[in-house]
Chains A and B, each alone.
Chain A
Amino acid sequence: MEKTDVIIIGAGPVGLFAVHQLGIKGLKAVVIDNLDKAGGQCIELYPDKPIYDIPAIPECTGEELTKKLLEQIKPFKTKFFLNERVNEVNQDKENWIIKTNKNNNFFAPNIIIAGGVGSFEPRKLSLKDAEKFEGTSVFYSVRNKEDFKSKNISIFGGGDSALDWTLELSKFSKVNLIHRRDEFRGAPHTLSEIKKMEKEGKVSLKTPCQLEAIEGDKKIKSITVKFEDGKIEKIDTDIVLGFFGLIMKLGPIAEWGLNMNKKTIQVNPENFETNKKGIFAVGDICSYPGKLRLILSGFHEVALASVECFKRARPNEKYKFEFTTSSTTIKSRLGKK
């Protein structure tokens, strides 16, 4: 069990800035995120898209913003638990205990939910039958490519993941690359490599084409695809891989007994506390009258929430408002002289 002052759920820009606001107040935090890296939507949805409304930064990309925020919180040496999703929240008197899907436990008086629109999960095949083969014949990521050696593989998707894995797996398996339209949005270079493999008979491209049915009992035997012109084809398949990007799912947060408004959590705009004492929600996931889904609003929200976190984590100390320009305590916490 890891004890800390604040558990931050979500490593997006607002979650990262939470570390800063807590850190300068002398509070320790841990950050948990379902993705394999920090940055949240900034990294996952628009790493290259410029953002124009961060105060004093006329233009920066999602990736640059994340880098800068990570640099800003470096002095606090915060522990990150990535690739982990929070499953359960339980109360223990004035404290909260969090359990993740990796069975890690965290104990703290405060939780800050900076969960954006939920955790990122792979978008799945829309065909209902695909569900029962998930984990045995249907996969949405490749953990160990050795598992896919000398198999008949059908890959769905048109982006980089679909193209990269087609190329990689075609080295030792027969691969069908199936996409709903003729154009691929993955790197042109990879596509031309794949076209080369197609000529050698190692890859077969099927476009514009969509999955119609899956045949098999415990494992998949074949799939049926339908081309845009109506032509139907049955393809021998052992493994189906789907690469349709990520979607955001609110997940277990919805079951924690917090007051929700559609997919958002209602908070008190004075301190961004939810209806549960010590659980805060900031950034895109919170709602209050006039809420704007802007990164800069999230920064403000977390600054205020951190004050309430201090009061709960240090009930015997008096909170003192300080400026970073003049406070020697803050400066020493930041490692400045």
Chain B
Amino acid sequence: MFYILALFFYILILLLNFMPKITYKDKSGNSKTLEVEKGLTVMEGAIQNNVPGIDADCGGSMACATCHVYVEEKWLSKLPKAEEGEVDMIDMAFEPKKNSRLSCQLIVTDEMDGLEVTTPEKQS
């Protein structure tokens, strides 16, 4: 009985501590998969873990387009839609594409476990 209970709590703790995995790729194919705390943005996940390729000059205030990433196609529809300000800002990004997003606007949730983003050749 004790073991079952212990196992139960162990699983519960695991579930509570679950951190979604985000994969950051660059144009030349280097890739890094990180566990990013829920509530942080995809940009913050990169900055805090020294992932190169994301500058975030304005610090996440949606004012500079230097945290620009390409989201893996299959994820596009699953992510919350970009608001107008973000789409406007993406106009200014380096080589924007259909699957462009600002990583400072992507707040990590459980559903985003497995998300793959690719950083552009450069940010400015």
Produce 1/0 per residue, A139-175, CB < 8 A to B.
Answer: 0000000000000000001110000000000000000
Interchain nearest-CB distance for A289 vs B (Å): 15
A132 within 8 A of B: no
- B88 near A185 with CB under 8 A, answer yes
Q: In the complex, A293 Cα to B55 Cα: how many Å?
A: 14
- B66 near A247 with CB under 8 A, answer yes
Produce 1/0 per residue, A255-285, CB < 8 A to B.
Answer: 0000000010000000000000000000010
A314 within 8 A of B: no
Closest to A62 in B: B63
- B91 near A244 with CB under 8 A, answer yes
- B57 near A245 with CB under 8 A, answer no
B61 within 8 A of A: yes
Tell me whether chain A's interface is mostly helix, strand or loop, or mixed: loop
- B124 near A247 with CB under 8 A, answer yes
The count of chain B contact residues (Cβ–Cβ below 8 Å) is: 19
- A45 near B63 with CB under 8 A, answer yes
Closest to B60 in A: A293
- B95 near A157 with CB under 8 A, answer no
Q: In the complex, A123 Cα to B124 Cα: how many Å?
A: 7
- B61 near A245 with CB under 8 A, answer no
* Size bin of chain A's contact surface: 20 to 34
- Cβ 8 A contact of A45, one of B64, B88, B91, B96: B64
A248 within 8 A of B: yes
Q: In the complex, A248 Cα to B55 Cα: how many Å?
A: 11
- A117 near B57 with CB under 8 A, answer yes
B61 proximity list for chain A (CB < 8 A): 45-46, 49
Pick the most buried of A118, A159, A183, A247: most chain B CB atoms within 10 A of its CB: A247
A248 proximity list for chain B (CB < 8 A): 57, 64, 124
Interchain nearest-CB distance for A90 vs B (Å): 28
Interface residues of B in 5-44 (CB under 8 A from A): none
- A126 near B95 with CB under 8 A, answer yes
Q: In the complex, A323 Cα to B87 Cα: how many Å?
A: 48
Interface residues of A in 218-262 (CB under 8 A from B): 228, 244-245, 247-249
- Write 25 A-B pairs (CB below 8 A) sorted by A numbering: A45-B58, A46-B61, A49-B61, A49-B63, A117-B57, A118-B57, A123-B92, A126-B94, A126-B95, A157-B91, A158-B91, A181-B87, A181-B91, A183-B87, A185-B84, A185-B88, A228-B98, A244-B91, A247-B57, A247-B64, A247-B92, A248-B64, A248-B124, A249-B124, A284-B59
Known: A117-B64, A244-B91. 13 other contacts (CB 8 A): A117-B57, A117-B58, A123-B94, A123-B124, A158-B88, A181-B91, A185-B84, A185-B88, A228-B98, A244-B92, A248-B64, A248-B124, A284-B59
Pick the 9 closest A-B CB pairs, nearest first. A45-B63, A245-B92, A247-B124, A185-B88, A117-B57, A126-B95, A244-B92, A158-B91, A293-B59
